[in-house]
Amino acid sequence: MSAADISSQIPENLKCIIFDMDGVLYDSMKNHEKSWTACFKNIGIDFPAYDAYLYEGKPGHHTIQEVIKKHLNRDASADEAEAVYQDKVKYMSQLPTPVFCPGMDKLLPLLRKEGLAVWVVTGSKQPTLLNKLGADFGMDPAHIISAKDVINGKPHPEPYLKAVAGSGFKASQCLVVENAPLGVKASKAADIFTIAVNTGILKPEVLKNAGADIVLPGTEPLISIFENYLKI
Ligand code: MG
Protein backbone atom coordinates (compact mmCIF):
# COMPACT_ATOMS: atom_id res chain seq x y z
CA MET A 1 0.00 0.00 0.00
CA SER A 2 1.34 3.46 -0.90
CA ALA A 3 2.00 6.26 1.60
CA ALA A 4 -0.97 8.15 0.09
CA ASP A 5 -3.28 5.14 0.55
CA ILE A 6 -2.17 4.71 4.16
CA SER A 7 -2.43 8.44 4.98
CA SER A 8 -6.01 8.46 3.63
CA GLN A 9 -6.96 6.09 6.50
CA ILE A 10 -5.82 8.60 9.14
CA PRO A 11 -8.58 10.73 10.72
CA GLU A 12 -8.79 14.34 9.51
CA ASN A 13 -7.89 17.38 11.61
CA LEU A 14 -5.35 15.77 13.91
CA LYS A 15 -3.86 18.17 16.46
CA CYS A 16 -1.55 15.98 18.52
CA ILE A 17 0.79 13.07 17.77
CA ILE A 18 1.79 10.92 20.75
CA PHE A 19 4.85 8.70 20.54
CA ASP A 20 5.85 5.76 22.67
CA MET A 21 9.61 5.88 23.45
CA ASP A 22 11.29 2.43 23.44
CA GLY A 23 11.15 0.82 20.01
CA VAL A 24 9.55 3.94 18.47
CA LEU A 25 11.91 6.88 19.12
CA TYR A 26 14.92 4.84 20.21
CA ASP A 27 15.96 1.45 18.85
CA SER A 28 16.24 0.29 22.46
CA MET A 29 14.27 -2.95 22.54
CA LYS A 30 17.35 -5.11 21.90
CA ASN A 31 18.77 -3.71 25.16
CA HIS A 32 15.57 -4.52 27.05
CA GLU A 33 15.53 -8.00 25.55
CA LYS A 34 19.15 -8.69 26.58
CA SER A 35 18.66 -7.22 30.07
CA TRP A 36 15.45 -9.14 30.77
CA THR A 37 16.98 -12.39 29.54
CA ALA A 38 20.09 -11.87 31.73
CA CYS A 39 18.34 -10.86 34.96
CA PHE A 40 15.80 -13.70 34.71
CA LYS A 41 18.60 -16.18 33.98
CA ASN A 42 20.14 -15.15 37.33
CA ILE A 43 17.05 -16.48 39.10
CA GLY A 44 16.85 -19.66 37.03
CA ILE A 45 14.32 -18.57 34.41
CA ASP A 46 14.93 -19.24 30.72
CA PHE A 47 13.08 -16.13 29.50
CA PRO A 48 12.31 -16.23 25.75
CA ALA A 49 13.49 -13.14 23.83
CA TYR A 50 10.10 -12.96 22.07
CA ASP A 51 8.40 -12.42 25.45
CA ALA A 52 10.43 -9.26 26.06
CA TYR A 53 8.47 -7.76 23.17
CA LEU A 54 5.13 -9.17 24.34
CA TYR A 55 5.53 -7.74 27.87
CA GLU A 56 6.89 -4.41 26.63
CA GLY A 57 5.11 -1.34 28.01
CA LYS A 58 4.12 -2.99 31.27
CA PRO A 59 5.76 -1.54 34.40
CA GLY A 60 8.95 -3.51 35.16
CA HIS A 61 7.83 -4.81 38.55
CA HIS A 62 4.58 -6.18 37.07
CA THR A 63 6.52 -7.98 34.36
CA ILE A 64 8.81 -9.55 36.99
CA GLN A 65 5.88 -10.72 39.11
CA GLU A 66 4.07 -12.22 36.12
CA VAL A 67 7.18 -13.96 34.76
CA ILE A 68 8.06 -15.48 38.15
CA LYS A 69 4.47 -16.69 38.54
CA LYS A 70 4.46 -18.18 35.05
CA HIS A 71 7.88 -19.84 35.10
CA LEU A 72 8.39 -20.68 38.81
CA ASN A 73 4.72 -21.10 39.70
CA ARG A 74 4.92 -18.92 42.81
CA ASP A 75 4.48 -15.31 43.85
CA ALA A 76 7.44 -12.94 44.06
CA SER A 77 7.86 -10.83 47.18
CA ALA A 78 8.16 -7.08 46.74
CA ASP A 79 11.83 -7.31 47.81
CA GLU A 80 12.56 -10.04 45.26
CA ALA A 81 10.85 -8.11 42.46
CA GLU A 82 12.84 -5.01 43.39
CA ALA A 83 16.12 -6.98 43.40
CA VAL A 84 15.41 -8.40 39.93
CA TYR A 85 14.43 -4.93 38.73
CA GLN A 86 17.68 -3.42 40.01
CA ASP A 87 19.58 -6.24 38.29
CA LYS A 88 17.80 -5.33 35.05
CA VAL A 89 18.63 -1.63 35.49
CA LYS A 90 22.29 -2.62 36.00
CA TYR A 91 22.39 -4.64 32.76
CA MET A 92 20.64 -1.81 30.87
CA SER A 93 23.24 0.71 32.07
CA GLN A 94 26.07 -1.50 30.75
CA LEU A 95 24.69 -1.71 27.22
CA PRO A 96 25.47 0.84 24.50
CA THR A 97 23.15 3.87 24.22
CA PRO A 98 20.61 2.98 21.55
CA VAL A 99 20.42 4.85 18.25
CA PHE A 100 17.27 6.58 16.97
CA CYS A 101 14.68 4.54 15.12
CA PRO A 102 15.05 5.49 11.43
CA GLY A 103 13.68 8.93 10.55
CA MET A 104 12.32 9.82 13.98
CA ASP A 105 14.81 12.67 14.59
CA LYS A 106 13.39 14.29 11.42
CA LEU A 107 9.72 13.42 11.95
CA LEU A 108 9.16 15.13 15.32
CA PRO A 109 10.51 18.56 14.23
CA LEU A 110 8.55 18.25 10.97
CA LEU A 111 5.28 17.66 12.86
CA ARG A 112 5.95 20.62 15.21
CA LYS A 113 6.75 22.84 12.21
CA GLU A 114 3.33 21.96 10.80
CA GLY A 115 1.68 23.09 14.04
CA LEU A 116 1.00 19.70 15.62
CA ALA A 117 1.55 19.09 19.33
CA VAL A 118 4.04 16.30 20.05
CA TRP A 119 3.85 14.18 23.22
CA VAL A 120 5.73 11.12 24.51
CA VAL A 121 4.05 8.41 26.62
CA THR A 122 6.32 5.72 28.00
CA GLY A 123 6.13 2.94 30.57
CA SER A 124 9.80 3.58 31.30
CA LYS A 125 11.15 5.36 34.34
CA GLN A 126 14.81 4.86 33.48
CA PRO A 127 16.57 8.21 33.31
CA THR A 128 19.10 7.06 30.66
CA LEU A 129 16.75 7.80 27.78
CA LEU A 130 14.10 9.96 29.48
CA ASN A 131 16.76 12.62 30.18
CA LYS A 132 17.84 12.63 26.52
CA LEU A 133 14.39 13.31 25.02
CA GLY A 134 14.89 17.08 25.20
CA ALA A 135 18.28 17.15 23.47
CA ASP A 136 17.54 14.34 21.00
CA PHE A 137 13.94 15.10 20.01
CA GLY A 138 13.28 18.65 21.28
CA MET A 139 10.77 17.31 23.81
CA ASP A 140 9.28 19.71 26.33
CA PRO A 141 9.38 17.90 29.73
CA ALA A 142 5.74 18.99 30.25
CA HIS A 143 4.80 16.89 27.20
CA ILE A 144 6.25 13.63 28.56
CA ILE A 145 4.22 11.07 30.52
CA SER A 146 6.47 8.40 32.06
CA ALA A 147 5.92 5.57 34.55
CA LYS A 148 6.46 8.12 37.32
CA ASP A 149 3.33 10.06 36.31
CA VAL A 150 0.71 7.29 36.43
CA ILE A 151 -0.78 4.79 38.87
CA ASN A 152 -1.78 2.27 36.20
CA GLY A 153 0.72 1.39 33.48
CA LYS A 154 0.01 0.11 29.96
CA PRO A 155 -2.13 -1.79 28.89
CA HIS A 156 -4.33 0.41 31.13
CA PRO A 157 -5.39 3.54 29.18
CA GLU A 158 -4.32 5.92 31.98
CA PRO A 159 -0.94 6.96 30.46
CA TYR A 160 -2.56 7.88 27.14
CA LEU A 161 -5.61 9.48 28.75
CA LYS A 162 -3.25 11.64 30.77
CA ALA A 163 -1.46 12.81 27.62
CA VAL A 164 -4.79 13.57 25.92
CA ALA A 165 -5.98 15.57 28.94
CA GLY A 166 -2.64 17.40 29.15
CA SER A 167 -2.69 18.25 25.45
CA GLY A 168 -6.07 19.96 25.78
CA PHE A 169 -7.35 18.10 22.69
CA LYS A 170 -9.92 15.34 22.33
CA ALA A 171 -8.86 11.72 21.88
CA SER A 172 -10.32 11.93 18.35
CA GLN A 173 -7.80 14.72 17.55
CA CYS A 174 -4.83 12.60 18.66
CA LEU A 175 -2.87 9.78 17.03
CA VAL A 176 -0.53 7.32 18.78
CA VAL A 177 2.56 5.62 17.36
CA GLU A 178 3.34 2.42 19.28
CA ASN A 179 5.47 -0.69 18.79
CA ALA A 180 4.18 -2.91 21.61
CA PRO A 181 0.93 -4.92 21.74
CA LEU A 182 0.22 -3.74 25.31
CA GLY A 183 0.90 -0.15 24.26
CA VAL A 184 -1.53 -0.52 21.35
CA LYS A 185 -4.13 -1.91 23.76
CA ALA A 186 -3.61 1.07 26.11
CA SER A 187 -3.97 3.54 23.27
CA LYS A 188 -7.07 1.87 21.81
CA ALA A 189 -8.64 1.64 25.30
CA ALA A 190 -8.14 5.44 25.40
CA ASP A 191 -10.02 5.56 22.07
CA ILE A 192 -7.08 6.95 20.06
CA PHE A 193 -6.27 6.13 16.42
CA THR A 194 -3.12 4.00 16.58
CA ILE A 195 -0.33 3.27 14.14
CA ALA A 196 1.79 0.27 15.16
CA VAL A 197 5.40 0.16 13.95
CA ASN A 198 6.79 -3.36 14.08
CA THR A 199 10.41 -2.49 14.93
CA GLY A 200 11.10 -5.72 16.84
CA ILE A 201 10.65 -9.43 16.26
CA LEU A 202 6.88 -9.77 16.76
CA LYS A 203 4.63 -11.29 14.15
CA PRO A 204 2.72 -8.32 12.65
CA GLU A 205 -0.66 -9.96 13.38
CA VAL A 206 0.08 -9.63 17.11
CA LEU A 207 -0.07 -5.84 16.70
CA LYS A 208 -3.15 -6.01 14.48
CA ASN A 209 -4.90 -8.29 16.98
CA ALA A 210 -4.05 -5.85 19.79
CA GLY A 211 -6.24 -3.37 17.91
CA ALA A 212 -3.82 -1.28 15.82
CA ASP A 213 -5.58 0.67 13.06
CA ILE A 214 -2.50 0.51 10.82
CA VAL A 215 0.54 -1.78 11.14
CA LEU A 216 3.80 -0.68 9.48
CA PRO A 217 6.96 -2.81 9.16
CA GLY A 218 9.02 -0.10 10.90
CA THR A 219 9.34 3.65 11.43
CA GLU A 220 10.81 4.41 7.96
CA PRO A 221 7.45 4.93 6.18
CA LEU A 222 6.12 7.42 8.77
CA ILE A 223 7.69 10.53 7.20
CA SER A 224 6.19 9.99 3.74
CA ILE A 225 2.83 9.01 5.29
CA PHE A 226 2.71 12.23 7.36
CA GLU A 227 3.97 14.30 4.40
CA ASN A 228 1.05 12.93 2.40
CA TYR A 229 -1.38 13.51 5.27
CA LEU A 230 -0.21 17.09 5.83
CA LYS A 231 0.07 17.73 2.06
CA ILE A 232 3.67 18.98 2.31
MG1 MG B 1 7.68 0.71 22.96
Domain ranges across the chain: 3-28+99-230, 29-94
For residues 52-68, give the mean pLDDT: 94
**Residue 128 pLDDT:** 84
CA of 84 to the centre of ligand 1 (A): 21
CA of 176 to the centre of ligand 1 (A): 11
Tell me if 209 sits within 8 A of 92, measured CB to CB: no
For residues 10-26, give the mean pLDDT: 97
CA of 213 to the centre of ligand 1 (A): 17
Residue 12 to residue 221: CA distance in whole angstroms: 19
CA of 34 to the centre of ligand 1 (A): 15
CA of 19 to the centre of ligand 1 (A): 9
CA of 2 to the centre of ligand 1 (A): 25
Residue 9 to residue 26: CA distance in whole angstroms: 26
CA of 32 to the centre of ligand 1 (A): 10
CATH superfamily, domain 3-28+99-230, is: HAD superfamily/HAD-like (3.40.50.1000)
97-127 pLDDT, tens digit each: 999 999 999 999 999 999 999 999 999 888 8
Q: State which fold the 29-94 domain adopts.
A: DNA polymerase; domain 1 (1.10.150)
Tell me if 160 sits within 8 A of 108, measured CB to CB: no
